[in-house]
Structure 1
Amino acid sequence: MKKILLFAFCLSLFSCSSELDLHPRTGVTPETITPNDLKALENGMYNNVQNDPKRESWIMFDIIGGNVQGSSTTSKDVINNTLNPLNSIIVSSWKGYYSALYQVNNVLAIAEALPLDEDTRRIRGTAHYFRAYIYYSLVTRWGDVPLLTKNTLEKPSRAPKALVWEQVEKDLATAHEFLTTAKSYYYVSQDAVIALQARVMLSQNKRSEAAALAEQLITKGNYALDSFEKIFRKEANTEIIFAFENLTAESSNTISTLFYNYGHPNKGSYVYAPSKEMLELIGTNDKRRAISFGVFGGQDCINKYPSGQAGTDPVIISRIAELYLISAETSALDLGTQRLNAVRTARGLPEVHPSSQAEMLTLVLEERRKEFLAEGFSYYDYVRTNTAKQYLGLLDYQHLLPIPGGELQLNEKLTPNPGY
């Protein structure tokens, strides 16, 4: 009965879609689980976090960050069309994050009831990392959001974003305590936790903390800047810290089909083309260009996810280039310049020598936009640095995403973001 009530709660409160039915191993009550079930429990959690928010969620900040355009619309049209309370991408992302959160909270409740050993420590650490990642995704999109660390039948209101950030930091600290190394970068490790901690600190403008965490991974020696061919063609590389493997058997996460047309060998639906600005920004002398863009059927396509309709490209969460650019933005100017130029020279570009932190920020934002095209960074980079009006022409209210209209109807305690 408890399981039925929790499922009904999730369905009615957050309009959770049928993903909750697909992996019942993560939707059972804690008292029915034994240590023999842990592997299935763990696999199901990875699956839910990867797939429930839907493929567009991973590139949301490119869609509304000026990096893409439609076949007959500009990047600004795409931004305005997407930032709508009834837009399907907005709706499915909200539903998907809370669907995944439901499963992660359930895994934590189950694992906490079992003896603490190597397996339960890994699973608890992974669950805390995933909950932190989910709430990072929620707070950077919607600001104040319902904060649920346990599944409940109560209708929640929106918690202040300061409390959400506090919970993200708390979950990451716990994840760091439980996790160690991982058997491959397709599994959450302590290094993945540190990488996300650095991003979280940067997002809150906690510059010294962000710099220290970034430097911890840069100087550790386990990672090095690598070629785009290796990173985005599923070759062994020294760059990736954590990624979802995104296998055909487990995934509905076909990001790739959004970017290719039928002229590509693996075909696609060509929903998004690279914006004219991005095509100009990443020049022909930039080693990233051939992997960032390709011409198929006479049309420019984003070329980082080559599987097309198969949709089997890894979904990269953290790689060492991000830590270099976090350090560049938050360290003292001398060290920051070294870190920025390390990325630039690795990508075939000449060194730069900023004379102020303001100039450094301008250069870092440009480098991040080139480096992380179609990896989900651009929009929030401009929002968090208060440059979204300058670079994207956003209106004040567009610095947050709209709460989906259906959620406002289902839960009277939710309030809309101003302006929508």
Structure 2
Amino acid sequence: MKRKLFPVLFSGMCLFTSCSKMLDVKSHSAVGTNTLSAADVEAFLVGIYNRVQNAPGAEAYISFDIVGGNLINSGATSDGGLNTFISNVLRPENGLMSAPWNGYYSALYQVNNLLEVASSLPESQRNTEIAGIAHFFRGYIYYNLVARWGGVPILERNTKEKVKRNTEAEVWAFIEKELQLAVDNAPAFTTGQYYQVSSVAAKALLARVKLAQNKKAEAAALAEEVITSGLFSLDAFEKIFRAQQNNEEIFSFRNLTIESSIRVSTLFYTYAHDVKGSYVYRPVQEVMDMFSSDDKRAAMSVDTYQGLRVLNKYPSGQSGTDPIVVIRLAEMYLISAEGQGLNGLYRLNELRRERGLGDIDPVDEAAYLDAVLLERRKEFLGEGFRWYDLVRTNRAVETLELLDREVKFPLPMNELALNNLLDQNDDY
């Protein structure tokens, strides 16, 4: 049987020979319509997983660590210039701005194609599940967009027209709608099958989205539903981050070497290391010091090799790829803990005990939130949470000594050139 090759959108590239033609290239927030036949839907669904996994690029998965005070460029002689390093990253012309913007919208193009086809398919349980998976990915894509840029263009259908930004509130409401559709329609979770989107993965992501909007009670309730579902349990770091079967992952990208361009590990290891690497970023000393000797996460999180600091969660280097953990149970514990305030202390201490640490008893709500955020920093180092945790709790400017504007990413410079209906975030 002859296999069809499905088109993928590539645009917004300015080749040095013809930068003057930049405006003739389609904007990533104005993508063209395409259709698929019903017979190709299952095959195209596999391509959706691949596209959403790969399109944003490796650094998209750790960008909130890069600008969140966990990492600094490996060539820095000290950590003293951390805020300058962050400001240099948060520039409209920086590729770390354009790559994820282009990647997420490119992936959205394919997800929208799938949803368009799914809407015309005969009613069946599987077709409903496929639509649920697509809605999960659309919610996931827009979560990543809104957390970085605030209001962005909402595209429920692909279009060749240029479009304006929606408000941030409209984007959050759209994400909630998408994820609720996924909760209602995506497949049930099968034990051990965390590389497949499930309805409970959608519920877990919805808990994250609620917390991001400070809807704490709703976030905690959803997280508790996931925790008490009986489907998952906290597990050892050496299983989670060494690609061993475990009970903690809720949804991850398998990220197989044969089909992946995502090699996060090369960014952290030196070429002299056994697995080799480019050593682009290193943990700051504060990160190295935040793990106590009895913390079971320490060895899987950071290491020192030939006197150089190394983030150790992605161990493959140039030899292969590592799974990308998107949602796991520890996050639900910490969402529940934060969402409940001091009443959620039991969840925080349950997680701490599982990680080899003793119970704590903060004196008030302020101290308690400090403790939750510190636990999140340790638990999710290198997983893309830190900057946005500080932003959503209004701590980014003070903690990282950022400019006021740096609580949002700047829209990419070339995207503004391609779409004159877009406006830049304040003060960039």
In the superposition, the TM-score normalised over structure 1's length comes to 0.92
Aligned to 2:360: 352
SS at match of 1:354: coil
Aligned to 1:403: 411
Bigger Cα displacement from structure 2, 376-385 vs 339-348: 339-348
Return the letter of the residue paired with 2:425. N
Q: Measure the CA separation in 2 of the matches of 1:285 and 1:5.
A: 51
Q: Measure the CA separation in 1 of the matches of 2:269 and 2:11.
A: 39
Q: Measure how far apart 1:295 and its partner are.
A: 2.3
Aligned to 1:51: 54
- Give yes or no for the alignment of 1:71 onto 2:79: no
1:372 to 360, 375, 380: 380
Aligned to 2:22: none
Q: Measure how far apart 1:113 and its partner are.
A: 1.2
1:14 and 1:98 in contact (8 A); partners too: no
Aligned to 1:84: 91
Alignment of 1:328-339 (within 5 A): 328-334=337-343, 336-339=344-347
SS at match of 1:13: coil
5+ long unaligned stretches in structure 1:
21-26
Q: Measure how far apart 1:180 and its partner are.
A: 2.9
SS at match of 1:205: coil
Q: Aligned in 2, Cα 1:8/1:289: closer, same or farther, shift over 3 Å?
A: closer
Q: Aligned in 2, Cα 1:229/1:161: closer, same or farther, shift over 3 Å?
A: same
1:246 to 255, 258, 270: 255
Q: Aligned in 2, Cα 1:267/1:350: closer, same or farther, shift over 3 Å?
A: same
Aligned to 2:27: 14
1:259 and 1:302 in contact (8 A); partners too: yes
1:261 and 1:297 in contact (8 A); partners too: no
1:179 and 1:190 in contact (8 A); partners too: yes
1:391 to 396, 399, 423: 399
Aligned to 1:101: 108
Aligned to 1:61: 64
Bigger Cα displacement from structure 2, 82-91 vs 5-14: 5-14
Return the letter of the residue paired with 2:37. I
Q: Measure the CA separation in 1 of the matches of 2:362 and 2:323.
A: 35
Alignment of 1:256-271 (within 5 A): 256-271=265-280
SS at match of 1:221: coil
Aligned to 1:198: 207
Q: Measure how far apart 1:244 and its partner are.
A: 0.2
2:8 and 2:110 in contact (8 A); partners too: no
Q: Measure the CA separation in 1 of the matches of 2:9 and 2:321.
A: 30
Q: Measure the CA separation in 1 of the matches of 2:330 and 2:295.
A: 15
2:129 to 113, 122, 131: 122
Aligned to 1:281: 290
Deviation sequence 1:371-420 (CA, Å, 0-9, x none): 00000000000000001123211111000000011111111111111111
Alignment of 1:110-189 (within 5 A): 110-183=117-190, 184-189=193-198
SS at match of 1:318: strand
SS at match of 1:268: coil
Return the letter of the residue paired with 1:194. K
Aligned to 1:382: 390
Deviation sequence 1:76-132 (CA, Å, 0-9, x none): 333111100000111111111110111111111111111122332221111100000
1:67 and 1:278 in contact (8 A); partners too: yes
1:147 and 1:159 in contact (8 A); partners too: yes
2:33 and 2:158 in contact (8 A); partners too: no
Q: Measure the CA separation in 1 of the matches of 2:398 and 2:333.
A: 25
Return the letter of the residue paired with 1:42. L
Q: Measure how far apart 1:28 and its partner are.
A: 8.5
1:53 and 1:95 in contact (8 A); partners too: yes
SS at match of 2:26: helix
Return the letter of the residue paired with 1:291. M
2:205 and 2:327 in contact (8 A); partners too: yes
Deviation sequence 1:145-169 (CA, Å, 0-9, x none): 1111100111011110100001000
Q: Aligned in 2, Cα 1:43/1:397: closer, same or farther, shift over 3 Å?
A: same
Q: Measure the CA separation in 1 of the matches of 2:361 and 2:196.
A: 38
Q: Measure how far apart 1:340 and its partner are.
A: 0.5
Q: Measure how far apart 1:38 and its partner are.
A: 2.1
SS at match of 1:273: strand
Q: Measure the CA separation in 2 of the matches of 1:232 and 1:394.
A: 32
Q: Measure the CA separation in 2 of the matches of 1:351 and 1:146.
A: 45
Q: Aligned in 2, Cα 1:62/1:6: closer, same or farther, shift over 3 Å?
A: closer
Aligned to 1:210: 219
Q: Measure the CA separation in 2 of the matches of 1:138 and 1:396.
A: 19
Q: Measure the CA separation in 2 of the matches of 1:284 and 1:399.
A: 34
Q: Aligned in 2, Cα 1:181/1:299: closer, same or farther, shift over 3 Å?
A: same
Aligned to 1:361: 369
Q: Measure the CA separation in 2 of the matches of 1:237 and 1:5.
A: 36
Q: Measure the CA separation in 2 of the matches of 1:389 and 1:112.
A: 45
SS at match of 1:149: coil
In the superposition, the TM-score normalised over structure 2's length comes to 0.91
Q: Measure the CA separation in 2 of the matches of 1:351 and 1:5.
A: 53
Aligned to 1:24: none
SS at match of 1:191: helix
